[in-house]
Structure 1
């Protein structure tokens, strides 16, 4: 395809490089080295330190949430978020099969069982219509929540994922979840800087989880955050993720099964410096998205854009090819030329540990799985 070679040239020109161009690499252009040095000089490099508190405050200010809790990675943030809303062993959580493995693993870590439902074509995230249809067929309201008539298990949560930073249809999702008395947990791992009707993702559900992995818009090397507007849930999140230790000058007494999910001060220092640059990163990425939009306009390849009433962070930008054959050709030609691209994830139920899970027809998810490819998306 001639357009593939044109895209390779376009990407190389944008990033001004004839070397290997990764999918998404971090940019360190602020106070990263300064804050890391301050942390080392203070000797508080582990989970106690001023940058941990600063990071949590910055996340509250950026998202508008009432409470943020720093944790060691995005997966742990989701694992604890599900526990906070009451997910227990052998209960079920509705989510999407078109997602990164962490979404499903966070459910399994709570000894719960995923239900995989279809996504919407426009958002690539969990479809409220699919959730509604599933619950109308299988849902049964009882005094203590919603039950799955086909398995007898309680459906303890619904966890959509904002794919590549594109927000799902949250108003519709909230309506469906409220009707069936199912708490909504947002997997906001990929959506720092994304908004739905003026509200930051992760602040609309009861609780949410963010990721600060090395390839995210903002990175702490490894890290995550639990975000909520429920102060009491936030306090409980902090308690559980710091080993559920009762405060005492020297005694060690733990009254619950907590987790050692504390973000080290070193990582928090890096995250704080990165968050200071967030607006610039997002602006750079939006410029690139606009350039891609113009470039692909008449190419026969669809560049994925944000939908009305949302503002996407364009974390990983992507194109939609016409079929799987075109996708494979696109992937091979770009990677052979040193421009990294990658397909969207394998659907979760295709993986051996989740093959047994209940699911619907997955028409849209399977369609996207064969066509979506991520393309270089770094800030400059």
Structure 2
């Protein structure tokens, strides 16, 4: 094959991979297990809302799989992020350092607590928050006050947390990020929305920071239809998270007593039942997705398109496979040809700092890698193949 991949050959390869001549989606859920049985169980029990056995069971399954200390099921991943930020003590007008190359929910959750996203660049190797860019900003443009708080020199605002995102399921450079955060007294909240089944040096993503959020949206590796999970490092934080996500209601036989501002974020039993069934075949899905990633990687060898592989010392779930195109023009040509041919591909998200509602949000420094990737990254069909 020549160095420049012909779009028709890409479409043919994907159709052969999926053995499908009709529309091929970017990422579709697979329901070939106990989903119907468990959902019907909830209907028979009449416990279809936020009280029910499957909610607790689903939390337990995620805790066991990730080895997290605590897990709190929420209605979606954004709610999980919002809850994590709230538990972390992020306040109005605080800065939360994150990446501009992410899904908008990352910044929306920061905004939801009244805080301000502050953008630093990403690494080309991980697509996640760059430790060098992060450390440069913190060393040069912040200081610790007498109370040990990290303060931005220019604005005087408190820098409270870093919020790295494991893009497409590929783990960030967690060791470096955690070390830098400790040096500057910052809370670490992992946006692990896309990385269920991804491991960094043998340990599951979402268990390195103080808090983390996972998503179970319909397009994720497993789904509850709509759902999320807060991971915590202590049972005490798990207890607090469960309390505030159930409207902070205190136990009472019949009175409505609430002891603080809370959120109506508890996952419904119906959704949790779906999640329990999906968890039963997570390993099968991961195996398939890694096989698909391997096929893509082999296909794009010796071409001008760089396949995005898992970082060193990591095991990625390859939630969405991606390539880096030679330039913006070649990506646009690939997008148009594949989508016109009923094979769904997608460009990476618009950088958050380029969206109108975040145009005034600060950037700690230049974002050359983020800008480079925003013009060249392209996602390929990544649904698992399960017979």
Q: Same fold (TM over 0.5)?
A: yes
Deviations 1:70-120 (A, max 9, x none): 000000100110111110011110000000000000000000000011000
- Corresponding position: 1:61 with 2:77: no
Q: Distance in 1 between matches of 2:319 and 2:159?
A: 31
Counterpart position of 2:375: 370
Q: In structure 2, the residue corresponding to 1:167 is in which secondary structure?
A: coil
SS in 2 for 1:161: coil
Tell me whether 1:70 sits opposite 2:73 in the alignment.
yes
What residue is the counterpart of 1:287 in the other structure? Answer: 291
Q: Which residue of 1 aligns with 2:115?
A: 112
Instruction: After TM superposition, list the pairs within 5 Å mapping 1:311-326 onto structure 2.
Output: 311-326=315-330
Gapped runs of 5+ residues in structure 2?
A: none
Please say if residues 3 and 299 of structure 1, whose CA atoms lie closer than 8 Å, have aligned partners that are also in contact: no
RMSD: 0.8
Q: Retained in 1: the 8 A contact 2:95–2:161?
A: yes
1:95-110 equivalence runs, <5 A? 95-110=98-113
Distance 1:295 1:349 in 2: 34
1:270 aligned to 2:271?
Answer: no
Distance 1:295 1:266 in 2: 41
Aligned pairs for 1:334-345 within 5 A: 334-345=338-349
Matches of 1:68 and 1:228, distance apart in 2 = 6
What does residue 94 of structure 1 align with? 97
SS in 2 for 1:35: helix
Partner of 2:17: 14
Number of residues paired by the alignment? 380
- Residue 2 of structure 1 deviates from its aligned partner by 5.3
The structure 2 residue matched to 1:171, chosen from 166, 169, 175, is 175
**Structure 2 match to 1:301:** 305
Matched, 1:43 2:46: yes
Q: Is the 8 A contact 1:93 1:115 kept in 2?
A: yes
Deviation at residue 299 of structure 1 after TM alignment = 2.5
Displaced runs of 4 or more, over 6 A:
none
For the residue of structure 1 that corresponds to 2:187, the secondary structure is coil
Query: Please, which of 151, 155, 158 is the counterpart of residue 151 of structure 1?
Result: 155
1:258 aligns with 2:262: yes
Please give the residue correspondences for 1:225-264 in structure 2 after superposition, counting only pairs within 5 Å: 225-264=229-268
Secondary structure (helix, strand or coil) at the match of 1:22 reads coil
Q: C-alpha deviations, 1:127-149, integer Å up to 9, x for none?
A: 11111001112111021410111
Displacement of 1:223 = 0.1
TM-score, normalised with respect to structure 2 = 0.97
Secondary structure at 1:184's aligned position in 2?
strand
137-146 vs 195-204, which deviates more?
Answer: 137-146
Following TM superposition, by how much is the alpha carbon of 1:251 offset from its aligned partner in structure 2, in angstroms? 1.1
Provide the residue aligned with 2:165 in structure 1.
161
Match of 1:327 in 2: 331
- Aligned 8 A contact 2:5 2:304 in 1: no
User: Residue 190 of structure 2 aligns with which residue?
Assistant: 186
Aligned: 1:201 with 2:205? yes
Indicate the larger mover: 279-288 or 136-145. 136-145
1:261 is paired with a residue whose SS is coil
Alignment partners' CA distance in 2, 1:7 and 1:194: 27
Matched residue of 1:243: which SS? coil
- Give the whole-Å Cα distance in 1 for the aligned partners of 2:312 and 2:124: 14
- 8 Å CA contact 1:340, 1:375 repeated in 2: yes
Normalising by structure 1, report the TM-score.
Answer: 0.99
